[in-house]
Amino acid sequence: MPQLAINVDHISTIRQARGGAEPDPVHAAGICELAGAKGIVVHLREDRRHIQDRDVRLLRQTVKTRLNLEMANVKEIVAIALDLKPDMITLVPEKRKELTTEGGLDVISNEKKLRKTISKMSSAGISVSLFIDPDAEQIQASLEVGATYVELHTGRYCDAENEKERDQEFHLIEQAAELAFEKGLRVNAGHGLDYRTTTRIAAIPFIEELSIGHAVIARAAFVGLDQAVREMQDCIDRAGRI
Ligand code: PXP
């Protein structure tokens, strides 16, 4: 079964709504780990809309599982990552006006810049994952630029408006996971996964980790973070019984 990594960005979104100190994503990360999460993910955006520099510095010191820093491939954030040395980084496209990451990276058009960053990260001992749509050409390009992982974008599967569309999107992810694995890439997946959509994705062989944020933080508002994480872990465990 894939491991569960929790993205705690939206704990910070709540904090930033008032500009104070609470709730603290560092505290949240500890609760997630104690509830069984095997990794913590944060996206340090250029506009600092949720996670702040102070958060990533403290998380680097406190996360006991794996810290995955989501980031755009831009000079300022690359320098922070090289200094911070998270366990891995996930490169994502970033637009100022988007509510959340909208689509996968275009690895083909950004090959040169990606190769440069991946080489710097490898020299610093940091693994690189590229967040891509489930597309054979993007997988091939990810391999060629030297990525260790790809994270397959599950957003379109989650947002599908009917079952036929959902099935089609599911099969694209399933095929992409197999192709990436066969080519020697390690495979993660995420975006938009919730308590209804996760089990089917978790049952796909080859996927090592699911990165899940919004659904868990939203559920935590009603049942608490510890239980919200455990319930998501149950969704993953159910995949073993399919
Ligand atoms: N993976 C990537 C690359 C993301 O950008 C995000 C959102 O920050 C996630 C996973 C988690 O998505 P969600 O918050 O919808 O679970």
Residue 110 contacts residue 141 (beta carbons within 8 Å): no
Q: Which residues are bridge partners to 189 per DSSP?
A: 152, 210
What is the Å distance from ligand 1's center to 191 Cα? 4
8 Å CB contact between 89 and 56: no
Whether 27 is catalytic: no
Residue 115 reports pLDDT greater than 90: yes
Fold classification of 3-239 (topology level): TIM Barrel (3.20.20)
pLDDT value at position 22?
97
| The pLDDT of residue 201 | 98
| Residue 171 among the catalytic residues | no
Q: Which of the following is catalytic: 33, 43, 174, 209?
A: 43
Write the residue with the smallest CA distance to atom 15 of ligand 1. Answer: 192
Say if residues 128 and 89 touch (Cβ distance below 8 Å).
yes
Which of 70, 169, 174, 209 is an active site residue?
Answer: 70
What letter does residue 132 receive in the DSSP assignment? E
Residue nearest to atom 9 of ligand 1 (CA): 191
45 is in an annotated binding site: yes
Best probe residue, ligand 1, of 70, 142, 158, 210 (max atoms within 8 Å of C-beta): 70
Which residues, listed in sequence order, are joined to residue 152 by a DSSP beta bridge? 132, 189
Span 186-236, pLDDT tens digits: 999 999 999 999 999 999 999 999 999 999 999 999 999 999 999 999 999
Q: How confident is the model at residue 102 (pLDDT cuts 50, 70, 90)?
A: confident
Q: How many residues does the chain have?
A: 242
Per-residue model confidence (pLDDT) at position 99: 76
In the chain, domain spans: 3-239
- Over 44-91, what HEC string results? CCCCCCCCCHHHHHHHHHHCCCCEEEEECCCHHHHHHHHHHCCCEEEE
- CA–centroid distance, residue 212 to ligand 1 (Å): 6
Neighbours of 28 (CB within 10 A): 25
- The pLDDT of residue 240: 87
Whether the predicted model's global pTM rises above the 0.85 cut? yes
